[in-house]
Amino acid sequence: MISWRLGTCFQLSAVVLILLLSAAFSPSTEYDLVVLNGRVMDPETGLDAIRNVAVRNGRIVSISVEPLSGRVTIDAKGFVVAPGFIDLHQHSQTSEAYLVKARDGVTTALEMEEGVSDIDQFYQEREGRALINFGATIGHEYLRAAVAELGHPNAPAGDAAHRSLTAAEVGELHCRIEHGLSRGAVGVGVLLMDTPGATPTEILDMFRAAARFKGAPVHIHVRGLEEPQYGLETDEAITDSLITGAPVQIVHANSSYQEDAPQLLSMIEAARAHGVQVTTEAYPYTDSMVSIGEASEGWEKWPDEKFQQLEWAATGERLTRESFGKYRQRGGLMIVHHPSFTEEQLLSTVASPLTMIASDGILKDGVGHPRVAGTYSRVLGRYVREQKALTLMEGLRKMTLMPAQHLEARVPAMKQKGRVQTGADADLVIFNPETVLDQATYREPTRPPIGIEYVLVNGIIAVNRGMAKQGIFPGRAVRGAVN
């Protein structure tokens, strides 16, 4: 009897020990955060179903039809749960702009067109201080100014912009571009409109620099509609990509090409069919924005009616020759109205399967274009729900998966963004598809949209019931390899 009891006690103790050890070394079934009952939409797999999503340590760790438990719970019944929006073209990289972007569902905002002059400084200034994810290209125009020895590289004007560089100067510029890429720049930003002195040889050399770093794209702005050779520059950009192998993105097809965008899209489609890595983007507004300093070339000879197409962003007044001259001395932002570019023409550009959505967002002390606060909600509300120019999945794909895939070769971490999948970063936007709509105007450019309910950045709630949270910094760097 005694031996039987001892044996039984030993067996029971062993079972208890195994259970205790199992509990100690098994992950908890309670997650950091769960999103329940949402319509989960993943553009890569095509998933479109009611699911529960669990987040732990900034990653999605479970997508399930079964109930899940978390320390924080979001009830997403009636809402769409989608990847956070990735904006490849956001100029203002400030805390002010990040708050505005987050309310529009943006979890990653990158300065890819203009770029920056100092990559290390850019990332150091934002590390641990950003609400959303951030990144930048190395800026051709800034380094060009520095090579021309015309003072601070953040003032690319005058001779630095208009004269051709010598072979030695192009060589020095090439080295500086490569240095920026070696320090993790996402790609190379080229503003041909602001550097008219750059020769085709110089621009080809910038592509060659990018091509040395696997997947590093060149984001390029053609001169625009006032220059008859802008179509030739499209040929040039595509050819440079073909010659070097560097991917190229031609920025804002809507404002650079306007009614000629169909020709651009036809060229891109044909080039891609032959293996050229060329892409484009658009924002859903017919009117654009520019700094008065960038748009003042030869202004004394402009006809009077051209000034009437310009609106001083800070006040809303239409400019005259006299007021333009006055504000030119002060500096600031202008809205450029394009009366010949119609909403119907814009719609076809935005709806093309070739175009990504990117905002070209600009915001300085509350002055800016409504695209900084309303680009993504405008596409969802106007083009998807109201006009049915896109399906909801097609619209989401343009805002999430397409920009993520564009950068994956250069930044492999982007394979974890733009998706709602197990293992992906928990960058999520939760919105009401029946109400989502932009509210920003030219007079109120930071007015937040309606219908964007929650935004998660790396698993942290950045927007809660439509309100951006201040004093938290979950944003992380989107950066290439650093040598």
State mean pLDDT over 169-189.
98
Indicate whether 46 pLDDT > 60: yes
State mean pLDDT over 74-90.
98
Residue 138 in domain: yes
> Is residue 117 within 8 Å of residue 177, measured between CB atoms?
no
State mean pLDDT over 352-370.
97
Residue 344 in domain: yes
Q: What are 108-142's pLDDT values in tens digits?
A: 999 999 999 999 999 999 999 999 999 999 999 99
- Side-chain half-sphere CA neighbours of 225 within 13 A: 15
pLDDT confidence of 298, banded at 50, 70, 90?
Answer: confident
pLDDT of residue 3: 44
Range(s) of the domain holding residue 372: 82-287+338-468
pLDDT confidence of 34, banded at 50, 70, 90?
Answer: very high
Q: What is the CATH number of the domain that holds 270?
A: 3.20.20.140
Indicate whether 295 pLDDT > 90: no
Inter-CA distances, 3 with 8, 15, 25, 36, 477, Å: 9, 18, 33, 53, 65
Count of C-beta atoms within a 10 Å radius of residue 166: 11
Residue 13 in domain: no
> Is residue 89 within 8 Å of residue 70, measured between CB atoms?
no
> Is residue 59 within 8 Å of residue 424, measured between CB atoms?
yes
Regarding beta strands 106-116 and 85-87, do their DSSP bridges make them parallel or antiparallel, or are they unpaired?
A: parallel
| Farthest CA pair distance, the chain | 112
Residue 458 in domain: yes
- CA separation for the pair 281, 287 (Å, rounded): 15
Residue 46 in domain: no
Indicate whether 154 pLDDT > 90: no
Mean pLDDT, rounded, of the chain:
91
> Is residue 399 within 8 Å of residue 419, measured between CB atoms?
no
- Split into its structural domains, the chain has a count of 1
Q: Percentage of the chain surpassing pLDDT 70?
A: 90
Residue 367 in domain: yes
Regarding beta strands 85-87 and 248-250, do their DSSP bridges make them parallel or antiparallel, or are they unpaired?
A: unpaired
Residue 425 in domain: yes
- CA separation for the pair 140, 142 (Å, rounded): 6
- Which residues have CB under 8 Å from 203's CB, separation 6+? 190, 192, 236, 240
pLDDT of residue 293: 85
Task: Return the minimum-mean-pLDDT range out of 13-27, 38-52, 319-333.
Answer: 13-27
Indicate whether 226 pLDDT > 90: no
pLDDT confidence of 184, banded at 50, 70, 90?
Answer: very high
Token reading at 175: 């080295």
- What does pTM read for this prediction? 0.92
- CA separation for the pair 3, 170 (Å, rounded): 91
Place of tokens 């950066």: 479
Indicate whether 483 pLDDT > 80: yes
pLDDT of residue 297: 77
> Is residue 420 within 8 Å of residue 81, measured between CB atoms?
yes
Residue 115 in domain: yes
State mean pLDDT over 401-408.
98
- CA separation for the pair 450, 429 (Å, rounded): 13
pLDDT confidence of 224, banded at 50, 70, 90?
Answer: low
- CA separation for the pair 299, 459 (Å, rounded): 50
Q: Compute the chain's Rg from CA coordinates.
A: 25
Q: Percentage of the chain surpassing pLDDT 90?
A: 83
